[in-house]
Structure 1
Amino acid sequence: MRVLVTGASGFVGSYAVAALVNEGHEPHIFVRNPEKAARVLHRLNVTPGLPVHVGDIRDAGAVRAALSACEAVLHAAADMGVTGHAADLEGANVIGLKNVLGQAVELGLDPVVHVSTVAVFVPPAGPVITADTPLAGPRNGYGRSKVTGELYARGLDGVTIVYPGGVVGPHQPTVDALNEGFRAGVAMGWPMVPGGVSVLDVRDLALVLARCITPGQGPRRYMIGGNFRTWRQLADLCEQLTGRRARRLPIPAALLRSFGSALDVVKRVKHISYPLTRDAADFMLTLVPTDDRTTLKELGVTLRPVEDTVSDTLRWLSAEGHLNVRRIGRLAP
């Protein structure tokens, strides 16, 4: 199928393009910067020559023209604002989303696939998050923008929504979110607080998204959080893989939130690489495991071992100069 991929120069979008090619589809990429997209896709061994549509998802006319050339759409473009500053959450996560999903449904594309996030369920209502868990009322701007987009997507006819957890892996165009968390944890230490994180390999997510490109299935919702680990378990895992002692930092939950709030203020005037914010603290303290069984069974996907995901991530962070090679111990070349 001819599949328009928004955010194709980003982390999830670029891997989704590669997975779509492997699944026999013809991705059309919708990007603001074709040169950046070419560089990013080249790293994933995607051969040049894919149809390119240049535009911004905030531009309804550019989006409509690109959609008109395709049979299906995979909407992976979004702004993040959890571990750092996001320029335009409302523009990307609400206005842009409406331009893509609303017009795709209007034009009769099938399927219409939207990449959401487990953040729409955080803070969670129970001990396990499923695709049927009630939507949350997050205090942070990123969560609120994603919930607003989520409600719009659910109100459309025939949209498939996918809920990924913390996406990690090699070849992230700009290191942020959980990859940034791994860099900080290994280099500076892991906070020993309640909660945890769902570690999802970007390659597994990309395959899930590619397997969603099947017409005639109607609206579907797929949870794919990944492998949940507490912060202590994550420190133990990194210690086991690298052979180096992982520094553990016992911090009361209230202090973590306060420290995140203080960093929010400082980061407005000074660059600080540590990825803690008040929003990130809320996620760290309240996230619970997800139930991915239905997704994995229906789409025929098996999650790779979390040890492989973390090893590949740490090796790449070191190879790209984001992490001192000494920090990854026996994972070093």
Structure 2
Amino acid sequence: MRVLVTGASGFIGSNAVKSLLALGHRPRLLVRDPVRAARVLGELGVPAEATEMSQGDMLEEASVSRALDGCDAVIHSAAVVGVTDRRTDLVEANVTGTRHVVGGAVARGLDPVIHISTIAVFVPPVEPVITSDGPLASPRTAYGRSKMEAERYVRGLQDDGAPVTIFYFSGVIGPSQPNLDSFSAGLVAALKTAWPITRGGVSLLDVRDAGDGLARSVRPGQGARRMVLGGKYVTWPQLADACDAVTGVRTRRIPVPARALLAIGTLLDVARRVHGFGYPLTRDAAEFVVTLVPSDDTAALDTLGLTLRPLEESLEDTVRWLVAAGHLHPSKAGRLAP
């Protein structure tokens, strides 16, 4: 099938392209910068000539329409991400992009139409385990609100019978990340200095498993589906122990009360509106850190026939890449240093 992929210059999108090619699909990429996309894919061993690139922007309806011409399916992984960029209306940008890509694909009758959401739409969770039927949250940040409005729009298409599949990913890790996200940046900081230990935990999914899951979902005739793929859930002490085990280096641990972390996030949200600085901790992020619970991935794994990599393998490959890319000094990687 010819599959349009948005966000192919990003972490998840580029791995989805690699997995699509492995399954014999023909990816067409909607990208703003073909040179950058070729570089990102090249780091994964994907030659640029193996894909078809359509230069454009998801916010431009005409360029999305051109990219959709002749496609059979869509994987929409692109999103405008930001904490402090006042030049961009994140709610408008992400909802508009989703309407152009997902809505345009549905209007053309493409099947399947795959939309990447986030497990954060269920945080703070009401039940001890997150499922696709859980109640939606009420995020405070512009990025959170943008993902929530896009979520409601896509669910409305599902309610109308459109063959849209929504994926809910949690913390995605792995090698060759084009831009360090908040988790990878936090991992580097923890290995350099200390782990902040609080209540709650994190679910971690290898980006290669995320790409394989997306590619395996490209099957027509499945109807509307919602798939939770949170990955391996660990508490913060367990994650610190796992990193110590793979590196052989014992890192410090600093207890941080959950209430203190939430208060700091709230204060930073207020200060950010006034001063516009870029520190990534927000009230939403703090709430995610201290309230996240495991997710039930059983239905998605069974449907896709997917077996997730061990967490230790993902952590090892991530740390090795962080060192190779210059984000982490070899001395902090212990036995994983080259």
Return the TM-score normalized by structure 2: 0.93
Q: What's the counterpart of residue 224 of structure 1?
A: 229
8 Å CA contact 1:4–1:66 kept in 2: the answer is yes
In structure 1, the residue corresponding to 2:143 is in which secondary structure?
A: helix
Supply the distance in 2 between the matched residues of 1:250 and 1:118 (Cα, whole angstroms): 26
User: Does residue 148 of the first structure (1) align with residue 181 of the second (2)?
Assistant: no
For the aligned residues, what is the CA RMSD?
1.7
**Equivalent position SS for 1:148:** helix
Q: 1:11-90 residue pairs with structure 2 within 5 A?
A: 11-49=11-49, 50-81=51-82, 87-90=88-91
Q: Is the 8 A contact 2:227 2:300 kept in 1?
A: yes
Residue in structure 2 matching 1:236, options 227, 237, 241: 241
- Given candidates 264, 268, 283, the residue that maps to 1:278 is 283
Paired with 1:39 and 1:118, the residues of 2 have a C-alpha distance of 29
Aligned partners of 1:42 and 1:88: how far apart in 2? 32
Displacement of 1:262 after TM fit?
A: 4.7
Kindly state the Cα deviation for residue 184 of structure 1 after the two structures are TM-superposed: 1.6
**After the TM superposition, which residues 127-166 of structure 1 pair with which residues of structure 2 at under 5 Å, given as runs?**
127-156=128-157, 157-166=162-171
d(CA) in 2 for partners of 1:24, 1:90: 35
Residue-by-residue CA offset, 1:106-135 (whole Å, 9 max, x unaligned): 011111000111011111111100111121
Distance 1:16 1:215 in 2: 17
Separation in 2, partners of 1:256, 1:85: 23
Of 141-150 and 316-325, the range deviating more from structure 2:
141-150
The C-alpha deviation readout for 1:8-61, integer Å capped at 9, x for no partner, is 111110010000000110000001011100100000111222211111111111
**How far off its partner does 1:81 sit?**
3.7
- Which stretch of the first structure deviates more once superposed, 62-71 or 209-218? 62-71
TM-score scaled by structure 1? 0.94
How far apart are 1:141 and its partner, in Å? 2.5
Per-residue deviation at 1:138?
2.2
Q: Which moved more, 1:226-235 or 1:45-54?
A: 45-54
Q: Which residue of 1 aligns with 2:104?
A: 103
Identity across the alignment (%): 53
Distance across 2 between alignment mates of 1:310 and 1:81: 25
1:8 maps to 2:8? yes
Question: Within 2, Cα distance between the matches of 1:278 and 1:242?
Answer: 31
List alignment gaps of at least 5 residues for structure 1: none
- Aligned with 1:116: secondary structure? strand
Q: Is the 8 A contact 2:242 2:312 kept in 1?
A: yes
Distance in 2 (CA, whole Å) between partners of 1:37 and 1:3 is: 16
Aligned-pair CA distance for 1:247: 1.3
Question: How far apart are residue 95 of structure 1 and its match?
Answer: 0.9
Residue identity in the other structure for 1:133? G
Q: How does 1:296-307 map to 2 (within 5 A)?
A: 296-307=301-312
CA contact (8 A) 2:38 2:47 kept: no
Secondary structure, counterpart of 2:178 in structure 1: coil
Does the residue aligned with 1:61 lie in a helix, a strand or coil? helix
For residues 134 and 319 of structure 1, the distance between their equivalents in structure 2, rounded to whole angstroms, comes to: 41
